[in-house]
Structure 1
Amino acid sequence: MDMLARMAAGLCVGRVLMLLCFSLSVVSASEGDEVQLLLKLKSVLETPSTAGVFSSWRAGDDKCGFTGIVCNSDGFVTEIDLSRKGLAGTLPFDSICSLGSLQKIDLGDNLLHGNVAADLRNCTSLKYLDLGFNSFSGKVPDLSTLSGLDFLNLNNSGFSGVFPWKSLENMTDLGFLSLGDNPFDVTSPFPMEVIKLEKLNWLYLTNCSIRGQIPEGIGNLTLLENLELSDNELSGEIPRSIARLGQLWQLELYNNSLTGKLPLWFGNLTRLMNFDASHNRLGGDLSEIRFLTSLASLQLFENQLTGEIPEELGELKNLTELSLYSNRLTGSLPPKLGSLADFNYIDVSDNSFTGSIPPDMCKNGEMTDLLMLDNRLTGTIPATYASCSSLTRLRLSNNSLSGAVPAGIWGLPNLTIIDLAANRLEGSIASDIRMGKSLAQLLLSDNRFSGELPEAMSEASSLVSIQLSLNGFVGKIPSTIGNLTKLNTLDLNGNLFSSSIPESIGSCVALADVNLSNNSLTGEIPDSIGNLPTLNSLNLSNNELSGVIPSSLALLKLSLLDLSNNRLTGPIPDSLSIEAYHDSFDGNPGLCSQRLKQFQPCISSSQATTHLGVILSCFFAGIFLLLIVFAITMYLKFRKKSNSLKSVNSLWRPDSWNMKPYRVLSFTQREIIDHVRTENLIGRGGSGNVYKVVLGNGKELAVKHIWASSSGSLRSHRSSLAILSKKSTGTPEYDAEVAALSSIRHVNVVKLYCSITSEDSHLLVYEYLPNGSVWDRLHESQKMEMGWDVRYEIALGAARGLEYLHHGCARPIIHRDVKSSNILLDEEWKPRIADFGLAKIVQPGPGGNWTHAIAGTLGYIAPEYAYTMKINEKSDVYSFGVVLMELVTGRRPIESEFGENEDIVRWVRGNTSSEKPLLDLVDANIPDTLKEDAVEVLRIAILCTANLPTVRPSMRMVVQMLEEAEPISLKNVLVDKVGENSQQTEEKQQNTKPSS
């Protein structure tokens, strides 16, 4: 028995040893496999630029010592952390997820790309996944098997498609969820799956294509510390249940369409430090805000808030940022505002605040921005801000402030703009301004300032704009003004300046606009002004200037020249004696001109003796010429009746036409009229006929011709240029509009050279654009396969042209007929906005922007025309959105396929709401590799065509969004150039590194 027992015991021990050996061999093989899996990951991601990251990843070495790798006590890999390493490539999740003990993957903030394979679902042990800030493509795979996750960050990773919200249902331990800033194709209602994640403390769904209301269930997430839902399509009211989120320190809801008041008990969020609900449609007052005692940043600008700012805001000890501009707030600002914290920023502009400026917002010397323009503030500028050296922007214009500006403000070292225009301020500019080395804009117009300008002003060498009009400044313009070599605008209009214009002004080589009118300036016009290379506007009218007009002015190409009402003498240079400057010299009886009829002709002493004889000879010759002209006229009238229009040339009478140039011309009116013939006709339309004119020097022009009947009405039906022609009967409104339109100077707006009018005919002379219109190239017989790069450049260029009309002109211009046929293309396919016949200049003040007829073209007209005749720039934005849809889809604005009473906007929305991928809407002629880029522009088009005008972006925002949507192919061109330059430099340094 003992022997048997011993044998049995030995057998058991042997089996145990065998099992132990087998187990050890399995562990060893598994560890070896993990090394191979990591080396495969290295082979995919390693490049010369990232070689240092993987220098420790060598076969035969302990994998637990690899950079970014963490192992457990058994030697198995549990963490991969290679964030912010500049890695590029496509992730091999089949290998990564074979690491059976892997609990953490952190590959955020790299350059990873490609699709994320469905193999990711095999990482079932994961607790932490961070793929944020990369350049992936395609959809997010199903994540439902990753039920153990407590951290998920896919923010700004490039994913598209539809996010698999159902995947979140099983992630009951999830505490951190960040999915924002991804171009998901289809908007979805607020995901109810999120409401069930009761352990969440961080929720970031900004720019995540979510629409509809925020559910009341959001209040169940009581552990939330950060909630960010900005840049979506959320609507309705902020749910009352949000007041239950007592741990919340940050709440971001900006750029949605939220309405209603701040909910009752919102003040319960006593830990809330940052609250941003700007750019919504919130109303009501700020009474709940007074209970937010931890508040550090409050951003509620661009809403519809009313009432007063609670006095308690002045007692907040942490408040450093306050932005409430563009609301309807009233009352006075709390006097203690900003005095208890390191206050940094305030913008309460565009409200109706009264009372005085709180004096202690820069008490701790941290304030950078003091912005309170467009209110009704009174009192003086507090002296405390004279020592606020941190201040960069001071904007208090359009208030009722009075008294003197504290002297120290002029010389604050970091101040870039002093905007105090349209107040009742007085006193003089202190010599302290010499210390304002950062000052770029000095805007003091329409005040009661007086005294002389200090010579020290010329030491503020960063000045770009000086606008001091409508004040009481006296004395001379500083002789050292030429030191301001960056100066672009000098406006001293409506003061009491005397003495002469300093010759040194010619050293201000960046000057574009000079207005010294309505002063008492004497002496001669400095010859040096003619040397200013970028001068566009010169107004010296209503002074006491004398002497001759310098010949150097003839070298300038000015859109505005006004020397009227001075004491100038002598000849007007021939190159300035053009119709564009017709009124520029009035009120100078000592001037003469050989070309301008309102002035005496310039004659020499030798000519004076024969002058009378010449006059008599001319008189009789004129009589003879009139008889000839009369005979020709009668003959031409007869021909006109027998043949309605053979050519405009059939009406040629030198004295019957009036040419008004808007640019320096290289042709005569006769050259134009001679070429407006039937054989040169290139287009017909409701606006009249269009002719191509080729001048003797080869220059090509486009001439639009509109006939007016004897009664003054037009034969052509009511359309853009027809309306323009109808106005050309000489009404002040027409003159004002044409003057504004003709002064436009932008690379993406068609050039209008001149108008030529007679009693019954009107010609507009434009630059000729050889590649026709966008409509022609997309839809008509001239249709061609335009690559996406060309379409994108057309979209961006046209947007920049409209942005200039809306934001770049002194008074915004609304085009009112934006469409693809009014976007013309030059020989390099660069676009020009054309046909301003329906354009309207925005009138200041209420009631100035109504129209009595629907303007525009069917398919492009904004929906608000159905219930209001009031127009604004957002009408153009809608029409431009339709053009973007044409460029992306290749479809016309109205097609039978869309259905009855449907257009391209409803068609796109209908397909979007049915969850059809936006990629399916892209023109089939656009390669698949570029369709994602086109979808980005289609999303912008959808924003532009929102039903509510207030929701649509401005053209400035549209340009910015289009610039951000630059196609990858164009970016690669830039990258290649940079790469080439970089490589050449490195080769010179004998340290070549291939571009990533």
Structure 2
Amino acid sequence: MSPSSRTFGFFSFLVFSLFSFVSSDDLQLLLKLKSSLVNSNPGVLDSWKLNSGAGPCGFTGVTCDSRGSVTEIDLSHRGLSGKFSFDSVCEIKSLEKLSLGFNSLSGIIPSDLKNCTSLKYLDLGNNLFSGPFPEFSSLNQLQYLYLNNSAFSGVFPWNSLRNATGLVVLSLGDNPFDPASFPEEVVSLTKLSWLYLSNCSITGKIPPGIGDLTELQNLEISDSALTGEIPPEIVKLSKLRQLELYNNNLTGKFPTGFGSLKNLTYLDTSTNRLEGDLSELRSLTNLVSLQLFENEFSGEIPPEFGEFKYLVNLSLYTNKLTGPLPQGLGSLADFDFIDASENHLTGPIPPDMCKRGKMKALLLLQNNLTGSIPESYTTCLTMQRFRVADNSLNGSVPAGIWGLPKLEIIDLAMNNFQGPITTDIKKAKMLGTLDLGFNRFSDELPEDIGGAGSLTKVVLNDNRFSGKIPSSFGKLKGLSSLKMQSNGFSGNIPDSIGSCSMLSDLNMAQNSLSGEIPHSLGSLPTLNALNLSDNKLSGRIPESLSSLRLSLLDLSNNRLTGRVPLSLSSYNGSFNGNPGLCSMTIKSFNRCINSSGAHRDTRIFVMCIVFGSLILLASLVFFLYLKKTEKKERRTLKHESWSIKSFRRMSFTEDDIIDSIKEENLIGRGGCGDVYRVVLGDGKELAVKHIRTSSTDTFTQKNFSSATPILTEKEGRSKEFETEVQTLSSIRHLNVVKLYCSITSDDSSLLVYEYLPNGSLWDMLHSCKKSNLGWETRYDIALGAAKGLEYLHHGYERPVIHRDVKSSNILLDEFFKPRIADFGLAKILQANNGGLDSTHVVAGTYGYIAPEYGYSSKVNEKCDVYSFGVVLMELVTGKKPIEAEFGESKDIVNWVSNNLKSKESVMEIVDKKIGEMYREDAVKILRVAILCTARLPGQRPTMRSVVQMIEDAEPCRLMGIVISKESDVKIKEIS
């Protein structure tokens, strides 16, 4: 080896030795940190190893300074999980940046975070931590703090902000912190450019000091409990680009001078109680997105909006706006959508909103618009939703509208349109809903309608269509609703309709149809309602209809002959006006001469009853045996090793709870476990649910009187159970029951909730404890419960689906304020049920279960909406979901549907205990219930819309149900 080589080698060794000396401590600390991430994404930390040639400075995500000291650790978006070791990190004295955002890290942040005194940048956002965030006043160099959406709870240490005067970004949103008034410490952070406090329990008024934060570019305090007016000092924030205050209780007008915020590009104050006109916004020419929906704004839309060069979306729905839409609206930008529904707007539709060819949705329902649809929209190839129902629009629909290739909804109902549906409709390959009801459309339907193969809902009622019904309807395999009543259709009902295997609602009443009823209709597996009344149909009633389970059957006022099938005889009134029919059981019909078949059917019917009774008796014996076994199991709890996990401040210990789990404290039993009332030494009352762990399944017999679940469930505690309970523990809402803690052992799980002294809504309406609830109280219960479900569905990144919404799971406090209870537990327990996917198991309670549960594994929040609709029907009618008077295989939804034939029949089903002066108000809520219980999930509103509709259903407003002389209820669909 040459001398020069030896010199170079020695120099390299010296440098490496010095480097190792500087970084050896950091190396050991990082390796210790790695060991805590046992569930980390494979491969991410492969470079973190002892013999790494470059030391810790070569580790993935690690940055060092010139001396080899670690200054930054950036492991964000790495798919990491496990409990992060903060004690190791905080020993790295030179660390200035720690970025862990968008992972699945868990654990509690230790108080020794205070040792991270060099930190300038801390990002723990979008993780699964637990417990409170510790005091951090020692981090006086901090400039960026991201804690958003990380499941922190408890009291946030606002006082620590007094030392963090250099903060530029403060992002705390989407954490279930304890409620706190807008913290004064925040308005002293004068260097802030980004403030995100949405959905972290901020209450009270926005302080005037907000105007001191003159560097702010982004201000978000949405999904909170803010009250009062927007302070006038906000106009000092001249650099503000984004302002989001939606979903609060703000009142008043936009402050004078608000229009001076020239840099605003995103403004969202939707879902508040703001009022006044929009004149202050006319000078905000840089707006890209303007969201003002669900307020009380009035006056005209400023014509300047039509000159905004950057505005791409505009939501103004559910206000009191008047006058015309600016005719230049959307013509200067890549306009995306407009929703100005539910106002009092007049004048024509602006013609150029799709001028740049980017528009996706035009929603102008429930206004007073006039004129015709502009021809310019026939070239809007990006349009997905075209909804202008309930206006005074007229003229023929431009032919190209029918065939727009990406259109999913055409909703032109309740206008004065005329003319035909053109053959262009065959080009509408993505069209799902075609609603033309209550117009003056005419001519024959084109056979080409079968080319719109994605159609699921076709509503053509109350028009002037004529001619034959196209046989091409049979090509629409996904069609679920076909309403053609009150037109001039003639000829036969196409036999091909029987190929629409998803059809649930078929209404062809009040036409001039002739010929026989196709036997193929009896092969429709999901058909729920069949109305062929007031036609000229002849021949026999097909025996195949006997196989259907219909909530509505109406064949009245035709020319049918022969015997009424025995299994259809329970549909009283469904066959009137057919003098050629006979029956052995319907007294109002002539008796059939050849009755041998009828006697045979009667014998079969009796045998079915006997066989069914034997099954019920066997089930009852099995049920009593299990109850006896359960009682034996409940005698004692094993006092083994208990683990308590708290989610709120507690004034009790696990011993206080465990010692109270005894028979004399038992107050309820359900499919998920027993419930006990616990009284603490200080008099505070708690409810404790005892979930037994078992290797065998437990069965809860159907019991309509107690509204218990119908599931078979395996109630084992697992890591998935703990994770889901952790998620539920983060829920903070006035209308969701408080979960204080969980206490677990190898054999049992105890969930400790707040105690609600007035029991459940089921008790108040149906049990021996029932109370004479006035309408005001029932209304408050409906609204509060709806808000609780809205929070579960919309308050998180993904919906928390309850899956067992019912009146017995709506608990009432001493003031009859409602709390949603038992949310999520059905899903949790099924996830442990022998490895079965929970969406493959029918969860819920008879009478509340959405129809799609029976034939679909796609379960989402719309199932909760259906169940909540049933609860609303209970509140309005006072009836249980299942009553003997409803008839065999019928529930309250079918019963209500069958009683919507006239205004008198609707009023008749309202609970007699509701005072006369409130009966029409109750019918408004019944309207909401009908929308919620639509058979198709896609036709049900979201819980956010349900809340809005209930809030609108107050005294002195018009009824939302219009009773027509055709014995059919017309319900305006909410966009």
TM-score by length of 2: 0.65
SS in structure 2 opposite 1:257?
Answer: coil
* Correspondence for 1:815: 874
Residue 506 of structure 2 is aligned to residue 447 of structure 1? no
SS in structure 1 opposite 2:275?
Answer: coil
In structure 2, relative to structure 1, the CA distance for the partners of 1:141 and 1:256 (3 Å cut) is same
SS in structure 2 opposite 1:480?
Answer: helix
Aligned pairs for 1:958-977 within 5 A: none
* Correspondence for 1:537: 529
Count of matched residue positions in the alignment of Structure 1 and Structure 2:
703
- Cα offset, 1:43, TM superposition: 1.6
In structure 2, relative to structure 1, the CA distance for the partners of 1:434 and 1:518 (3 Å cut) is same
In structure 1, what is the Cα distance between the partners aligned to 2:401 and 2:880?
50
* Correspondence for 1:113: 106
SS in structure 1 opposite 2:342?
Answer: coil
* Correspondence for 1:135: 128
Residue 82 of structure 2 is aligned to residue 89 of structure 1? yes
Aligned pairs for 1:137-156 within 5 A: 137-156=130-149
In structure 2, relative to structure 1, the CA distance for the partners of 1:836 and 1:526 (3 Å cut) is closer
In structure 2, relative to structure 1, the CA distance for the partners of 1:496 and 1:949 (3 Å cut) is closer
- Cα offset, 1:373, TM superposition: 0.5
Residue 441 of structure 2 is aligned to residue 459 of structure 1? no
Residue 608 of structure 2 is aligned to residue 591 of structure 1? no
- Cα offset, 1:848, TM superposition: 8.2
* Correspondence for 1:291: 283
In structure 2, what is the Cα distance between the partners aligned to 1:144 and 1:68?
27
- Cα offset, 1:800, TM superposition: 6.4
Aligned pairs for 1:377-526 within 5 A: 377-526=369-518
* Correspondence for 2:519: 527
* Correspondence for 2:935: none
In structure 2, what is the Cα distance between the partners aligned to 1:836 and 1:406?
40
Aligned pairs for 1:584-623 within 5 A: 584-604=574-594
In structure 2, relative to structure 1, the CA distance for the partners of 1:392 and 1:142 (3 Å cut) is same
In structure 2, what is the Cα distance between the partners aligned to 1:129 and 1:25?
32
Residues 877, 911 of structure 2: 8 Å contact kept = no
In structure 2, what is the Cα distance between the partners aligned to 1:601 and 1:105?
87
In structure 1, what is the Cα distance between the partners aligned to 2:868 and 2:569?
27
* Correspondence for 1:176: 169
Residues 564, 584 of structure 1: 8 Å contact kept = yes
Residues 404, 427 of structure 2: 8 Å contact kept = yes
Deviates more, 1:584-593 or 1:278-287: 584-593
Residues 721, 836 of structure 1: 8 Å contact kept = no
In structure 2, what is the Cα distance between the partners aligned to 1:483 and 1:339?
39
- Cα offset, 1:557, TM superposition: 1.6
Residues 850, 871 of structure 1: 8 Å contact kept = no
Q: Which of 318, 324, 348 pairs up with 1:326?
A: 318
Aligned pairs for 1:217-366 within 5 A: 217-366=209-358
Aligned pairs for 1:882-893 within 5 A: none
Residue 97 of structure 2 is aligned to residue 104 of structure 1? yes
* Correspondence for 2:659: none
Q: Which of 66, 73, 79 pairs up with 1:80?
A: 73
Write the deviation string for residues 908-931 of structure 1: whole angstroms up to 9, x where unpaired: xxxxxxxxxxxxxxxxxxxxxxxx
SS in structure 2 opposite 1:50?
Answer: coil
Write the deviation string for residues 231-255 of structure 1: whole angstroms up to 9, x where unpaired: 0100100010111101011000001
Residues 806, 812 of structure 1: 8 Å contact kept = no
Q: Which of 184, 196, 204 pairs up with 1:192?
A: 184
Residue 557 of structure 2 is aligned to residue 565 of structure 1? yes
Residues 571, 602 of structure 1: 8 Å contact kept = yes
* Correspondence for 1:70: 63
In structure 2, relative to structure 1, the CA distance for the partners of 1:566 and 1:30 (3 Å cut) is same
In structure 2, what is the Cα distance between the partners aligned to 1:313 and 1:775?
45
Q: Which of 536, 545, 549 pairs up with 2:541?
A: 549
Residues 200, 223 of structure 1: 8 Å contact kept = yes
- Cα offset, 1:100, TM superposition: 1.2
- Cα offset, 1:871, TM superposition: 4.8
In structure 2, what is the Cα distance between the partners aligned to 1:411 and 1:772?
46
In structure 1, what is the Cα distance between the partners aligned to 2:45 and 2:767?
66
- Cα offset, 1:301, TM superposition: 0.5
TM-score by length of 1: 0.64
Q: Which of 808, 820, 825 pairs up with 1:789?
A: 825
In structure 2, relative to structure 1, the CA distance for the partners of 1:357 and 1:664 (3 Å cut) is farther
In structure 1, what is the Cα distance between the partners aligned to 2:577 and 2:175?
64
Residues 541, 564 of structure 2: 8 Å contact kept = yes
Residues 876, 925 of structure 2: 8 Å contact kept = no
SS in structure 2 opposite 1:237?
Answer: coil
- Cα offset, 1:790, TM superposition: 5.8
SS in structure 1 opposite 2:522?
Answer: helix
Amino acid at match of 1:172: T
Residues 274, 298 of structure 1: 8 Å contact kept = yes
Amino acid at match of 1:567: R
SS in structure 1 opposite 2:274?
Answer: coil
In structure 2, relative to structure 1, the CA distance for the partners of 1:198 and 1:348 (3 Å cut) is same
**Residue ranges of structure 2 left out of the alignment (5+ in a row):** 1-13, 598-604, 618-623, 625-700, 707-763, 773-803, 815-820, 831-841, 851-861, 884-889, 929-942, 955-975
* Correspondence for 1:972: none
Amino acid at match of 2:544: S
Residue 363 of structure 2 is aligned to residue 371 of structure 1? yes
In structure 2, relative to structure 1, the CA distance for the partners of 1:874 and 1:191 (3 Å cut) is farther
Aligned pairs for 1:864-875 within 5 A: 870-871=921-922
In structure 2, relative to structure 1, the CA distance for the partners of 1:280 and 1:55 (3 Å cut) is same
Residues 106, 128 of structure 1: 8 Å contact kept = yes
Amino acid at match of 1:265: G
SS in structure 1 opposite 2:544?
Answer: helix
In structure 2, what is the Cα distance between the partners aligned to 1:421 and 1:137?
51
In structure 2, relative to structure 1, the CA distance for the partners of 1:850 and 1:605 (3 Å cut) is closer
Amino acid at match of 1:816: L
SS in structure 2 opposite 1:353?
Answer: strand
Amino acid at match of 2:261: L
Residue 221 of structure 2 is aligned to residue 162 of structure 1? no
* Correspondence for 1:712: none
In structure 2, what is the Cα distance between the partners aligned to 1:817 and 1:121?
57
Amino acid at match of 1:72: D
The sequence identity of aligned pairs, in percent, is 50
Amino acid at match of 1:471: N
Residues 854, 869 of structure 1: 8 Å contact kept = no
Amino acid at match of 1:589: P
In structure 1, what is the Cα distance between the partners aligned to 2:451 and 2:480?
16
- Cα offset, 1:807, TM superposition: 6.1
Write the deviation string for residues 198-217 of structure 1: whole angstroms up to 9, x where unpaired: 00000000101100000010
* Correspondence for 1:902: none
Residues 773, 822 of structure 1: 8 Å contact kept = no
Amino acid at match of 1:595: T
- Cα offset, 1:555, TM superposition: 1.7
In structure 2, relative to structure 1, the CA distance for the partners of 1:506 and 1:157 (3 Å cut) is same
Amino acid at match of 1:129: L
Give the superposed CA RMSD. 4.8
In structure 2, relative to structure 1, the CA distance for the partners of 1:527 and 1:89 (3 Å cut) is same
Residues 816, 876 of structure 1: 8 Å contact kept = no
Write the deviation string for residues 310-368 of structure 1: whole angstroms up to 9, x where unpaired: 00000000000000101111111000011111000100001110100000000000000
SS in structure 1 opposite 2:362?
Answer: strand
